[in-house]
Amino acid sequence: MSESGKVSLPMTPEQIEAYKAYSQINRGLPPEMAIELLAALEESQQQNARWKEAVNALMMGDTEIQRELAEAQQTISTLNEELNYIRSIADISLPAVREELEVAQQTIAQQGEIIHGIDRDLTKLRLALIAIAGMDVIGSSAISMKAIAKEALKEGSDKA
């Protein structure tokens, strides 16, 4: 135990050297107090170094965040430019497209009327063909009866 009542631990070679250096500078301070002060100084220097590392890491992180922010802003700017370009094209071509669409719709309507007329004419033609075919059957039947009658008369005259 030391004079102050504290348990003293064996000194490391660095502590012994630090004590010797200190005792050469200041002879009025008790050695235990000098060692404690040196240990506190070393601990504060280590803490200071850790704080510096933390600050540097934050600064580097902040720099990385700033770089990412700049990239995001550039991307947003590029997308806005592209959007404005697309809008300008739409403003220019939209009326022309609407006009072409209207013309196309009118053409389709006209072609629909033409097709309807053709369909009506085809129906009339079918009915006419059916009528003609019916007349052919009637005409064929009449011709066939006439031929049968002639044949019968001929056979009758041959027998007589």
Full DSSP string of 79-119: HHHHHHHHHHHHHHHHHHHHHHHHHHHHHHHHHHHHHHHHH
Report CA 145 to chain centroid distance, whole Å.
83
Range of the domain at 68: 13-159
Cβ-based neighbours of 30, under 8 Å, separated by 6 or more: 3, 4
> What's the whole-model pTM score?
0.32
> 91-106 pLDDT, tens per residue?
666 777 788 889 989 9
In a domain, 72, yes or no: yes
- Asked whether residue 8 is assigned to any structural domain, the reply reads no
Checking if the pLDDT of 24 tops 70, the result is no
- Domains: count for the chain: 1
Rounded CA separation 40/13 (Å): 17
pLDDT higher at 62 or 118: 118
Copy the structure tokens of residue 102.
């209207």
